[in-house]
Amino acid sequence: MSEHITEIVIFTILFLVVSGMGFVAARWRAPKDMAHLDEWGLGGRSFGGWITWFLVGGDLYTAYTFVAVPALVFGAGAAGFFAVPYTVIIYPMFFLILIRLWSVSHRHGFVTPADFVRTRFDSPTLALLVAITGIVATMPYIALQLVGIEAVLKTMGVTGESAIARHTPIIIAFAILAAYTYQSGLRAPALIAFVKDTLIYIVILVAVIYLPLKLGGWGGIFDAADKKFAGTPVPTDGIILNANNQLQYITLALGSALALFLYPHSITGVLASRNRNVIKRNMSALPAYSFLLGLLALLGYAAIASGVKPLAGATPGTPDNNTIVPLLFDIQFPAWFAGVAFAAIGIGALVPAAIMSIAAANLFTRNIYKEYLKRDATNAQQATVSKIASLVVKFGAVLFIVFLNPQYAIDLQLIGGIIILQTAPSVALGLYTRWLHRGGLIAGWVAGMAIGMWMLYQIPNPATKRAHFGSSAFPLSDFGFDTKKTIYVGFVAVLVNLVVAIIVTLILRAAKTPAGVDGTTNDDYFADEGDPRLEQARTTPDTIGSAT
Amino acid sequence: MAEPAEPVPSAQAAPAATRSDRSPWNWLLLIPIVVPLVTPFYNFVSPRVLGFPAFYWIQFLFILLGVVTTTIVYQMTKKRSVVSRHE
């Protein structure tokens, strides 16, 4: 422990500074009345370009991403680099689709994607499914942020042997996080994101200049990786893709991009911005983070060249590849800089964890509590319920990590990406068309979930000696095709979902089943800052005058 | 979709009040969505640039491609919406 003392001191100081900011954030851009879900849960829907850039950037590129993507590149090579095309294609998609969600939410006061689905398809059941999917997909994602912090703590040697000693630092960190999120809401992660991202940018830029100087240039680093992969028996690794994993690479990038903007926390970040132009401008500015992520991914190769050996995982006999980036910093940099890097990752976990817990709490409040438990809940009551729910969500994530093997969190995150994709027909397509019947959307959701779970269950992972839920790469040979190609499970599941939704829609239409009343008008999808808010979320088209 | 915002001939709201973000420029956004997904375009080792195999530096260039196209579309559609606001 003593050899890491400098790192621990710097980590602790930065962590405390940021925690202080979290509490002060309640007074930052403070409204007259904080007892409203728009204030606590969406920062007053008032964030401009810079804040949105830091907030959404800090939200989408999580500590887990920063730890897991290099770990993937370290283990599998080029296949792990999918994070770059994934985070390139997402912004043009956001640009067209999420802007409509922002407008319709601004007009109707929607806080969650499920709010939109409820009004658009006139179906509380479908909204409930979307809300539950969002909560279930978000919970393991929060738990994974803890895995990110834990990778750092493990490297600093502050994690003991017993279950309690191992988790005490994390429990303290999350208790502080829970307290200031409770008090400040979305303003806390928005303010902290400035520190987090500044630290991350500095650390990565220094690393990508300094490490090649020590390790024989980028050419030498890639050669070292190439040599390692050539020596392994695994056929799918290497510094470029091969014939069998290209389809996986493409479908994983596309599927992950679709999933990312359906995640409740991404939508929360976007809805908090002030107007349409803030979002559109950010779509050109956010790729700066993709550049950073690409460089970071390559640290996986730097770790190979520097001969990093990952620490032992939770399952005896298996390596924990998530520790390679912290170890790389520990080995190659002076202790004080490693401390800064560790703090960047640790704080990096807090921003998304806070936003995710707020998003999950909003889903519970709006689409379960208000819909089923207390229909006449006032704005102040909703804000209170959401604050308490955010505590429960974080408590759940900590229990998850303390009492279950962290591997379950990773498995569930894998599942989370696939199940959140099943809300795509309702949320993403729903922004464009109401052609799909609410019954068809429900049937499609059920079918997509079922096939997605079945496919994941079929996939083993030889590296961690697991028979099921080994990865998201499904061998097409299991469908009876004579090939070694693999495909991303979520992609297949969402296609099945869509086909079932279309077929059931056709049947329900033939049977003349009522499709409910659309609570939105075409003009709502183009509303902007300054347009009047409709006080009643549920209105029929003919009661709304055309906005000017 | 290339026609700019023609009012749909139906019993809906008056055309004067119909807003739309349709624009031919939006088609440009397809480029940064499709190109990064075509692996045969960039799945090579050589030519290397500064030691980076082609697979990596080409994909870094895609980030730039995304920035340029979204910036162009934002600038072009921004003017359009200002004009239609004043109609």
Find residue A238's DSSP bridge partners. A77
pLDDT at A386 over 70: yes
Are B37 and A212 an interchain contact pair (Cβ–Cβ within 8 Å)? no
| Domain-located, residue A539 | no
- Put simply, the chain B residues between 19 and 78 with a CB less than 8 A from any chain A CB are 19-21, 26, 29-30, 32-33, 36-37, 39-40, 43-45, 48, 50-53, 55-56, 59-60, 62-63, 65-67, 69-71, 73-74, 78
Instruction: Please check whether residue A480 lies inside any domain of the structure.
Output: no
Q: Is residue A224 part of a domain?
A: yes
State residue B13's pLDDT score. 40
Residue with tokens 């009012």: B7
Going from N- to C-terminal start, the domains of chain B cover 23-85
Whether pLDDT at B72 is above 70:
yes
pTM of the model: 0.85
End-to-end CA distance of chain B: 21
Q: Does A81 touch chain B (CB under 8 A)?
A: yes
Local confidence band at B3 (pLDDT 50, 70, 90 cut-offs) = very low
In a domain, A212, yes or no: yes
A229 vs A233: CA distance, rounded Å: 8
Verify whether the Cβ–Cβ distance A89 to B48 is below 8 Å. Answer: no
Give the position of tokens 């996080």: A177
Inter-chain CB proximity B60 and A294 less than 8 Å: yes
Mutate to test the interface with B, among A82, A89, A250, A290 (most CBs of B within 10 A): A89
Choosing among A95, A97, A209, A292, which should be mutated to test the B contact, i.e. which has the most B CBs within 10 A?
A95
Tell me the percentage of chain B whose pLDDT exceeds 90. 33
When CB atoms are compared, the residue of B13, B33, B62 closest to A546 is B13
Test the A interface: residue of B21, B41, B45, B69 with most A CBs within 10 Å: B21
Using DSSP bridges, classify how beta strands A486-488 and A473-475 pair: parallel, antiparallel or unpaired: antiparallel
- Which CATH number goes with the domain that contains A357? 1.20.1730.10
Residue-wise pLDDT tens digits, A300-318: 999 998 888 888 766 666 7
Q: State whether B29 and A217 contact (CB < 8 Å).
A: no
Indicate the pLDDT class of residue B6, thresholds 50, 70 and 90.
very low
Report the number of distinct structural domains present in chain A. Answer: 1
DSSP string, B12-73: SS-GGG------GGGGGGHHHHHGGG-GGGT---PSPBTTB-HHHHHHHHHHHHHHHHHHHH
